[in-house]
Amino acid sequence: MPLIVPEQLPAVELLKKEKIFILANESKDSALLRIGIVNLMPLKIQTETDFLRLLSNSPFRIEVDLISMASHVSKNTPAEHISMFYKQFDAIKDKHYDGLIITGAPVELLPFEEVDFWHELTRVMDWAKEHVSSTLYICWAAFAGLYYNYGIAKHVISPKISGVYPHRVLQPENPLLRGFDDLFHVPHSRFTAIDASDIDRHPELVTLTWGEGVGPHIIMGRDGREIYIVGHSEYAPDALKKEYERDMNKGMSPAAPVNYFKDNDAVRREPVVMWRSHANLLFANWLNYYVSKSIPNG
């Protein structure tokens, strides 16, 4: 089914080449889901494309609003792009959304309260509890949401978790994991972690999946009104490669992402994609069972 986004959005041309149906204007021929994306990543155009690609894999027509933080000035995305395609929170705060995605952000080493958009983001998180059917918190946003909503602290770790890690399903009966293999792979790229014991102290939180060497991965709260994902299922095939090369160019001598390059050859740097099918399934299940409110009873 089509995505409804502005036809001038840079992602549209690429997604059309991938045979993803894009509508410039809303029509009335099938159910419509309204999804907001709070994009906190620096390379916003790439992030838009990553999430729109995953949202397209559903039987629903989806109308997407891109949302920016008024309290933060992006240094890596043209101001014209943000002005043309993004809405600020005050412009949408009276709306209701079927789903909301809050992305990661490259500020994980800062205390949350020192992030320039923190106050505004807490307003969004409070607003989402009453105005959104289900919210996905991705990577840094997952740490931020768990901290703000439950007081769960993040911990700085070394070395950085970077690569594609095997994960196992802990709650196979949960609709979000319907169709998942017992073992699946997810990209990670972070300097922070959370303790499973801190999650266990909150009976309203359920850990659905666990990553070998990376810990809790998907944590669900409020029966799916909140879903915290400590990882990057949305990553494009070359995302970890670009991060690795960026850090190399900065003279940081990073370790190569694990389980990512073909034959673990960091010289040739040919990524092997092992997470695409489960990424699509994860987002399809979220849309089907939580965003569209069609979770079966019993």
- Give the residue numbers annotated as catalytic, written as ranges: 139, 232, 234
256: helix, strand or coil: coil
Q: Which helix (H) or strand (E) holds 15?
A: helix 10-17
Query: Which residues contact residue 27 at a Cβ distance below 8 angstroms, ignoring those fewer than 6 apart?
Result: 61
The Cβ of residue 19 has, within 10 Å, a number of other Cβ atoms equal to 7
Tokens of 113: 């309260």
Q: Which residue has the tokens 């909301």?
A: 100
What are the DSSP E strand ranges found in the chain? 3-4, 22-23, 32-38, 61-68, 86-88, 97-102, 132-138, 155-169, 183-193, 205-211, 215-221, 226-229
